[in-house]
A = this chain, B = another copy of it.
Amino acid sequence: MTDFGLDDVFVGVMKGVIARVNPEARIIDLTHAIPPFDILQAAVKLAESFSYFPEGSVHTIVVDPGVGSERGIVCMQSQGHLFLAPDNGVLTAVASTHGHEALVEVTDRGLFLPDVSGTFHGRDVFAPVAARLAAGLAINRLGASIAEIERIDIPSPRVNPDKSFEGIVLWSDRFGNLITNFRASAVKSHFGDERLVFRIGDKDLGGLHKSFGDVPKGASVAVAGSFGAVEICIREGNAAEFFQARRGTPVSVFAGTM
């Protein structure tokens, strides 16, 4: 997972380095379309995605605005998965939810390419280290144990005195579905069996549905999304365009009927 996009040779060259170091490594692209430097988005998407991969996977995250500065690089083991990343908070969501079984700072320069550039550690550091981890190198060979990673603030919804929840849109997906920072499970446990209304802008949406299939084509609907977040959707339409929403757009949910 990187914020490199696919328009340059960055991702391809990283894979070339991996193939040099470990010809047997199997590489899967999680995504390279994290917006540049968007550590929050990378952190949340990583936490939602990693458990669908085989145990022992080496999740290599290069969203790294601090490349070339003094930020460290860490390797964390959690739930039997390995996470190799700059120590900039991108592992916050995984660590907060699952803790870790091992955590080291990656300092053994003998594992890197001979010449480490100041701007492309994906190629010079992350790729060769990931390739060696995938070949079975033990995490404690990378450097000394540390106690904690850097953390970022992951925005969580606020509970109002009237028991309503106030959250935000985090981002939208390819289809224009608006991913909020409400966890569907949290909404359900907070409100129990009460009937719900979601509000975005001046629009109210009734209930939390399992799928778009519950509403007619073109209707807007709040859905318990496939990664656990509440999503505001328009069936076969584009909610991001319709609601002109982006990160930070307020969304609320309260008990009631429409």
- Residue numbers of A with Cβ under 8 A of B are 1, 3-13, 15-17, 19-20, 23, 26, 28-33, 36-37, 45, 48-49, 52-54, 57, 65-70, 117-120, 123-124, 173-175, 209-214, 223-227, 231, 236
B123 and A37 contact, CB distance less than 8 A: no
| Contact among B54, B124, B173, B223 for A7, CB-based, below 8 A | B173
A223 to B37, CA, bound (A): 19
Given A119-B211, A174-B5, do A12 and B28 touch, yes or no (CB 8 Å)?
yes
| Closest A-B pairs by Cβ, 3 of them | A68-B211, A118-B211, A120-B226
B53 and A8 contact, CB distance less than 8 A: no
Residue of B nearest to A211 (CB): B68
| New A-B contacts (10) at CB < 8 Å, excluding given A68-B211, A68-B214, A118-B223 | A1-B12, A11-B29, A15-B28, A16-B53, A19-B26, A36-B175, A52-B123, A69-B211, A120-B226, A123-B226
| Contact among B7, B31, B36, B236 for A33, CB-based, below 8 A | B7
Question: Which of A13, A17, A213 has most chain B Cβ within 10 Å?
Answer: A13
A212 to B64, CA, bound (A): 12
Given A13-B52, A31-B6, do A212 and B23 touch, yes or no (CB 8 Å)?
no
Question: Which of A15, A119, A213 has most chain B Cβ within 10 Å?
Answer: A119
